[in-house]
Amino acid sequence: MQDIASVLSKDSAGKEVTVRGWVYRARSSGKIAFIVLRDSSGVVQAVAHSENFTPEEFNILSSLTIESSMELTGTVREDSRAITGYEVGVSGFRIYQRNESFPITKDQSEDFLLDIRHLWVRSREFTAVMKIRSTLFKAFADFYYQNGYYQVQTPFMVSTAAEGGATLFKVPFFGDEVSLTQSAQFYLESLIFSLEKVFTIGPSFRAEKSRTRRHLTEYWHAEIEAAWLGNDDLMEVEERMMEYMVQAVVENNKEELKLLGRDVEKLKKIKAPFERIRYGDLMKRAREDWGLDFEYGTDLGADEERALMSHFDKPVFVTHYPVEHKSFYHRPDPENPKEVLCHDLLAPEGYGEVIGGGERIWELDVLEKRIEEAKLNRDDYYWYIDLRKYGSVPHSGFGLGLDRVAMWVMGLENIKDAIPFPRTIRRTRP
């Protein structure tokens, strides 16, 4: 038994092989039947001639249905007429299951594909998507392991009062109520006091009724936190990481990118360093150089982001947002306390924000003051405040939307096409 990719080589030509998988295409013309077989590694055409089989056997081979599962034995030969350049001359076969008709035919709508997502994940397109996604998740973890970080796990069920701002999902909990996590950040901040540099990959949940092509209700959040790092240090880490992740896909997923029709040249340009622009300077440039109607204090909405990013072909860091634009835990710039030491990373080609991060407040009195200003209940944050009482140190961290990165790297129209089973405001099946 061997996988299909390994059959597609000059070494296999002339040899007898056995492959197994699912029927990708089936055609017959009386005395000859073509079967294109698919497995996780690729597809190969097989051809069966009626004179090599009993009428009953040939009838089975010439009436196979799409996605039926089977095993084929035969001799490999090079043939330019076959879809992948090689062909198996069938001498024997075994059917595992002959299907009724497969629901997916050549005409499909986005909506229908979501309804039968459990079957659409078998398509060559979606197989390519999942292979690239796998590379991205691996590259993220590899990068941090190589840089001395530890992988940690944090709870998904959390006490209801947390970060404030984003809307949380409420879940019954032994007569009480908990929320589904929207970020591991506070837990990661706790763990740097032993491990110093940590990362985690897990789902985050947002109960906002977002209806856009770049929002999911449940998404994969990659977060890191590191002691002794400042905002600038962290951006250096991030740009090296982005380069590492994108180039990993460029190197390992050539076939998949081609199948998805992605322009690889755009990805090859994603190399550190990335430009860093202070929010205030960005507004100034937008107004003076690009003629956009922005002023200090304008929120960066989707339209503004797209307008700005049309001037760049690499991701851009936007730093030093006004205090009131950001959550309470961001550290005010000691040189200008009206702005915080933070950054968003905006992806090119209109894909928008993929990272939000920055330096955390590590001084106890500053944190207490900001919690008060944000009108948050101090008791809810007792453990977060405690971290500033016992050996507090400067530290920074960020959160990255892996599905958004995947969407951008693959050049997809909708974030739902970047995850196997998307959860949105109205879709929980399959």
- In the region spanning residues 323 to 382, those forming contacts with RNA, defined by CB under 7 A, are 344, 352-356
Contact at 8 Å (CB) between 361 and 330? yes
Per-residue contact string for residues 123-162; x = within reach of RNA by CB under 7 A: ----------------------------------------
The torsion defined by the Cα of 254, 260, 263 and 264, in degrees rounded to 10, comes to: -20
Smallest gap, in angstroms, from Cβ of residue 259 to RNA?
13
Restricting to residues 155-214, name those near RNA by CB under 7 A: 165-166, 183, 206, 208-214
The torsion defined by the Cα of 237, 243, 247 and 249, in degrees rounded to 10, comes to: 70
Restricting to residues 242-301, name those near RNA by CB under 7 A: 299, 301
Asked if residue 426 binds RNA (CB under 7 A), the reply is yes
Q: Which of 124, 276, 287, 427 binds RNA (CB under 7 A)?
A: 427
Asked if residue 395 binds RNA (CB under 7 A), the reply is no
Smallest gap, in angstroms, from Cβ of residue 234 to RNA?
14
Sheet holding 150-151, edge to edge: 150-151, 197-205, 218-227, 395-401, 352-359, 342-347, 316-319, 275-278
How far is residue 335's CA from residue 319's CA, in Å, rounded to a whole number? 14
How far is residue 400's CA from residue 274's CA, in Å, rounded to a whole number? 16
Contacts of 217 (CB under 8 A, 6+ apart): 205, 206, 207, 210, 423, 424, 425
Smallest gap, in angstroms, from Cβ of residue 175 to RNA?
27
CB closer to RNA, 114 vs 195: 114
Q: Which of 103, 148, 337, 420 binds RNA (CB under 7 A)?
A: 103
How far is residue 110's CA from residue 23's CA, in Å, rounded to a whole number? 23
**Opening angle at CA 301, ends 295 and 305, nearest 5:** 85
Q: Which of 277, 286, 404, 408 binds RNA (CB under 7 A)?
A: 404
- Site residue total, RNA (CB under 7 A): 72
How far is residue 330's CA from residue 357's CA, in Å, rounded to a whole number? 9
Asked if residue 101 binds RNA (CB under 7 A), the reply is yes
- Please name the helix (run of DSSP H) or strand (run of DSSP E) that holds residue 347, with its range, or none: strand 342-347
Smallest gap, in angstroms, from Cβ of residue 194 to RNA?
25
> Residues for the chain: how many in total?
430
Asked if residue 302 binds RNA (CB under 7 A), the reply is yes
Determine the 3-state secondary structure of 120 from DSSP. helix
In the DSSP assignment, the letter for residue 389 is T
Q: Which of 3, 17, 18, 28 binds RNA (CB under 7 A)?
A: 28
Restricting to residues 29-68, name those near RNA by CB under 7 A: 29-32, 34, 45, 47, 49-51, 62-63, 65-66
Smallest gap, in angstroms, from Cβ of residue 332 to RNA?
17
